[in-house]
Amino acid sequence: MEENNYTFEFGDHGETTAVEIKACGSDVLRYNNISKGTAFTEQERQKLHLSGFLPPRVKDLQSQVASSLKVIDNKESDLERFIYIRSLFDRNVTLAHAVIASDIPKFLSIIYTPTVGLACQHYSSMFRRANGIHFYPGNIDQAEEILKRYCDRDIRVAVVTDNQGILGIGDQGAGGIAICLGKLMLYTQGAGIAPWHCLPISLDVGTDNPELLADDNYLGWQHPRVKGEDYLEFLGKFARAFKAVFPKALCQWEDFSKQNAFTIRDVYLHDLISFNDDIQGTGSIALAGILAAMKVKKEKFVDQVFLIHGAGAGGIGIAEQIETELMEEGLDTDEARKRIFTLDSRGVVTTDRTLEPYKEKFAKDPATLGWLNSPEDNTLINVIKHEKVTVLIGTSGQPGCFTREVVVAVGKNSDRPVILPLSNPTTKTEALPQDIYDWTDGRALVATGSPFPPVKHGNREIRIGQMNNAFVFPGVGLGVVASGALEVLPTFFSAAAHAVAEYVTEEDLKAGILCPPLDKLREVSLKVAKFVGAEAIRGGVTSECVYSRYKHANDLERLNTLIQGMCWNPEYLPIL
C-alpha cells in the first residue's frame, strides 16, 4: 500500500510491522507518520541522507518523551498544552502518542474533555496545519475523488462531524474537527488503531454561530447552515463517497444536533458501518456504571426506577440503552418504558406536547401520572418523590440543578441511591461529587462525566469514577474492525457496557466506585473489543476481515488473538 513516499508493511494480524521509506533528506522529516526526529540512528541518517538536516545528538524515544514532558509542564494553560501536543503530533506521531501514553489520565483531559472545547472555539486563530478532510458545499460533489487522494489509504476508522452540537458549547463551525482529532487519538490510545488508519472529517455545512459569521479570521464556510432537504442531500453525497472509497471502514458520527443525530444514525444504520457515539457510546458507558452499581447495591436492574434529566441525544441514548438492558432481563417494551422517565426544560416529557421525534418513545401519558395535576407540578423533585426514582442521571448541562433537596429525595427512595451527574465540561455538572456524598451521608453511588479529584467523606478518600465514553468507543471500533462486522448492532453497546462493568474491581466496588481508572484504558478497550467482536459473531454480521491473514474471525479464540495482535503501540518502526 503506497502512501506518498513511504509504504507500511503489515503482519499476520493487520498490525504495522515496518515502513519502507522511498524519500530522502529533509523530505523524510515532512511525514509525521514516519518521522523519528532526533531519534533517527546514525545508520538511518546515512541511509536516508539525513546528515546535516538534524542536530548531531541521537536521542531515543524515552529521552524524547522526557524532554517533551518538561516542555509541557512549563506551559501556563491546558490550551497551550493542547497546542503543543497537536504540533508534536503534526511533526512526529509516534512521539506524540508516547507522551500521551505516559500519563493517560492527565493527557486525556488535555487532548479531549474538557480542553478540546476550547480548541474548537479557538480553531481559526490557532490553526497551524490542516488535518483530515473538510467537505463543504463547494467541494462535496468531488467527495469521492478527494477521499481517494487522501494520503493514508488504509483507513479503518473515521470520525465525522457536522460541527453543530459540540460538547456543551454548541455550533462551532469548522472548529468541530478538533473533536474528531481528539476522538481518533483515543482510538489509538485505547484500542491501538494506528494513527495512519484514522481519518477525521468535517462536514462543513455552514454555521449559525453569529460570532463566527462575523469573524474575519474564521476559516470555515462562512454562511448560515444548510438545512432540510439540501442538508440531507449533502450528507447523502458524503455517505455514498465514503462507502465507495472505504467500504470496510467504520464511520463514527460525532456531535450532530439532537434531531439530526438520531436521523442520520437511523438512515445509515444499514448502508454504512456506523454509529453515533453521543447517543450509543453515552448510553453504553452510563449502563456500565449502573450495572456496577447493582453489584454494590446487590439489587436487580429491573427493580430500579430511572430518571434522565436532559432529553437530548445523550439522555435519550441512555434511555435506549437502559430499555435494551431491561428487555434483555425479561421485561417487554411497555414494562421497560414504565421504569424510565425523561425530563427536559418543561418537566417530564409527556405525550400531550408537540415533541421532537426522538423524544416520543419515552414520553409518558399524563393520565398515568396521578400527581401531575397542573404544569406547575411537573418538576424534577415531584417526579423523584412520586415515582420513587432510585437512579438519577444528569445530561442537562444545567450546573447545580441536582440540589440538596433533589439529592436527599433520591436518597429517601433507596439505601444506596445512584446519582450520575454526567454533563460536560466540569462547569456544566449537575452537582459536585463532594456535595452528593455530604448530602447522603456517604450512601450515594456517584460517577461523573467530567474528571473530578478524589473527595473525602469521614475517614475515607473516594476516587470519583469518570463515565468517559473513551472506555467504550475505541473498543467498539476495534471489535468491529477485527471481526469484519458489516453493521454495528445495538447489542454491541450492551456488550460493551457489560465488559466495562466487569472490569471494575471488587476493591473499587467495595469503595462505591463505578468505573475503572483511566490508566486502564487499553486493558478495558481490549476487553470491550472482545465482547463486541463476539457479539458480532453471534449476530451473524461478520464478513471477511480484510486486515489480517484470518479471512474470517469466526471463532472466539481466533478473534481474541487477532484483537490482541493488531494493536499498535507508540514505538518507532523498523525501516526497510
Residue closest to 349 by CA, chosen among 309, 294, 382, 398: 309
Residue 26 domain flag: no
pLDDT for the residue 2:
41
The number of beta carbons lying within 10 Å of the beta carbon of residue 336 is 21
268 is catalytic: no
Four-residue CA torsion sign, 239, 245, 250, 253: negative
Q: Buried (b) or exposed (e) across 515-527, using 16+ Cβ within 10 A?
A: bbbbebbbebbbb
Residue 129 φ/ψ, nearest 5 degrees = -150, 140
Looking at the structure, tell me whether residues 257 and 186 fall in a common domain. yes
Beta pairing class for 391-394 and 306-309 = parallel
Of 238, 272, 306, the one marking the end of a domain is 272
d(C-alpha 226, C-alpha 232), whole Å: 9
Asked if residue 159 belongs to a domain, the reply is: yes
Are 295 and 209 in a shared domain?
Answer: no
Tell me the C-alpha distance between 95 and 36, whole Å.
Answer: 8
* 398 shares a domain with 265: no
**Domain identity same for 434 and 358:** yes
**434-465 burial: b if 16+ Cβ within 10 Å, else e:** bbbbbbbeeebbbbbbbbbeebebeeeebebb
Q: What's the one-letter identity of residue 283?
A: G
Rg from Cα positions in the chain: 24
Query: Would you call 123 a catalytic residue per the annotation?
Result: no
Of 224, 249, 272, the residue at which a domain comes to its end is: 272
CATH of the domain at 301: 3.40.50.720
DSSP state of 426: G
Which of 470, 495, 521 marks a domain boundary? Answer: 470
In a domain, 568, yes or no: no
Candidates 6, 112, 187, 572; catalytic one:
112
Written as nine digits, the cell of 347 is: 418537566
Q: Are residues 120 and 258 in the same domain?
A: yes
State whether 267 and 342 are in the same domain. Answer: no
Q: Within 10 Å of residue 149's Cβ, how many Cβ atoms?
A: 11
Cell readout for 238 is 458524503
Residue tagged 541521537 (cell numbers): 58
- Mean pLDDT split into 10-residue runs, the chain, 576 residues: 74 92 92 96 95 96 98 96 96 98 94 89 92 97 96 90 87 95 97 97 97 97 97 97 96 93 94 96 98 97 98 95 96 97 96 93 95 94 97 96 98 97 89 97 95 90 94 98 94 97 96 95 97 94 74 76 94 94
Judged by DSSP in three states, 181 sits in: helix
Please say whether the beta carbons of 425 and 117 come within 8 A: yes
Same domain, 361 and 387: yes
- Per-residue CA distances from 391 to 286, 297, 331, 341, 421 (Å): 11, 12, 18, 10, 11
CA pair distance 229, 227, nearest whole angstrom:
7
Q: Could you tell me if residue 535 is inside a domain?
A: no
- Among left, alpha and beta (phi > 0; psi -120 to 50; other), residue 163 is left
Do 370 and 413 lie in a common domain?
yes
Amino acid at 400: G
Q: What is the dihedral of CA 426, 428, 431, 433, to 10 degrees?
A: -10
Q: Is residue 503 part of a domain?
A: no
Helices 258-267 and 313-328: crossing angle, nearest 10°?
A: 50
Q: Reply yes or no: is the peptide bond before residue 425 cis, omega within 30 of 0.
A: yes
Distance CA 409, CA 382 (A): 9
516, part of any domain: no
Residue 240 shares a structural domain with residue 286:
no
The pTM score is 0.94
**Predicted pLDDT of residue 169:** 83
Cell numbers representing residue 152 in the block: 493514508
Q: E strands along 215-305, which residues?
A: 250-254, 274-276
Q: Is 477 among the domain residues?
A: no
Work out how many domains the chain is built from and give that number: 2
The active-site residue out of 31, 36, 84, 183 is 183
- Grid coordinates of 74: 512549563
Does residue 317 share a domain with residue 174? no
Give me 312's grid cell: 437530548
Q: Which helix (H) or strand (E) holds 321?
A: helix 313-328
Do 357 and 228 reside in the same domain of the chain? no
Instruction: List alpha helices for 404-469, DSSP H.
Output: 404-411, 433-439
Q: How far apart are CA 387 and CA 391, in angstroms?
A: 11
- How far out from the chain centre does Cα 437 lie? 28
235 occurs within a structural domain: yes
pLDDT score recorded for residue 552: 62
Range of the domain at 246: 94-272
Q: Do 307 and 257 belong together in one domain?
A: no
Output the domain CATH number for residue 192. Answer: 3.40.50.10380
* 318-321, Cβ contacts within 8 angstroms, sequence gap of 24 or more: 318/282, 318/283, 318/286, 318/287, 318/393, 318/395, 319/283, 319/362, 320/279, 320/280, 320/283, 320/490, 321/280, 321/283, 321/284, 321/286, 321/287, 321/493, 321/494, 321/497
Total Cβ atoms within 10 A of residue 339? 21
